[in-house]
């Protein structure tokens, strides 16, 4: 992967250092799976959350209801998931208003 790109004009050692740098800039302790509970039919589905975007619309796999975040929540995971979305876990603002998003 990265080592391959660097092949030819740097040492493997430097490539490793660069990869470490990349890794250290990425959050490692985030939980990326959240069990989303449908408020309409109660169906629970474990979904993998994107780290760089908010999921605003989520279709229930069972009843096909389109879930949207509750007022004040930034995404469906904050409203219906067992785990808050990655931006919330990092306590950084993701989209519009991420402050105070909690389960009602
Ligand atoms: Zn449902």
Q: pLDDT, tens digit, for every residue of 34-86?
A: 999 999 999 999 999 988 878 999 999 999 999 999 999 989 999 999 999 88
Residue 75 within any structural domain of the chain: yes
Same domain, yes or no, for 43 and 77? yes
Tokens standing for residue 12: 């493997």
> How many angstroms is it from 46 CA to the middle of ligand 1?
13
> How many angstroms is it from 43 CA to the middle of ligand 1?
5
**Which residues span the domain enclosing 14?**
1-28
Q: How high is the pLDDT of residue 98? A: 43
> How many angstroms is it from 17 CA to the middle of ligand 1?
47
Q: How high is the pLDDT of residue 24? A: 65
Give the residue, 9 or 43, on which the prediction is more confident: 43
pLDDT at 99 over 50: no
Instruction: From residue 74, give the alpha-carbon distance in Å to each of 13, 26, 84.
Output: 41, 21, 10
> How many angstroms is it from 77 CA to the middle of ligand 1?
14
> How many angstroms is it from 99 CA to the middle of ligand 1?
27
Instruction: From residue 8, give the alpha-carbon distance in Å to each of 12, 22, 65, 80.
Output: 10, 20, 53, 49
> How many angstroms is it from 87 CA to the middle of ligand 1?
25
Quote the number of domains for the chain: 2
Residue 9 within any structural domain of the chain: yes
Q: How high is the pLDDT of residue 78? A: 94
Q: How high is the pLDDT of residue 104? A: 45
Q: How high is the pLDDT of residue 53? A: 79
């Amino acid at each position: 992967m990265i080592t391959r790109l660097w092949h030819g004009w740097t040492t493997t050692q430097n490539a490793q250092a660069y990869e470490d740098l990349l890794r250290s800039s990425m959050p490692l302790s985030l939980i990326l799976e959240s069990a989303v509970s449908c408020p309409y039919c109660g169906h629970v589905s474990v979904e993998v959350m994107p780290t760089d975007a908010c999921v605003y619309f989520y279709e229930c796999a069972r009843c096909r209801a389109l879930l949207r975040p509750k007022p004040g929540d930034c995404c469906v995971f904050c409203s219906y998931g067992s785990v808050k979305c990655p931006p919330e876990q990092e306590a950084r603002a993701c989209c519009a208003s991420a402050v105070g998003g909690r389960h009602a």
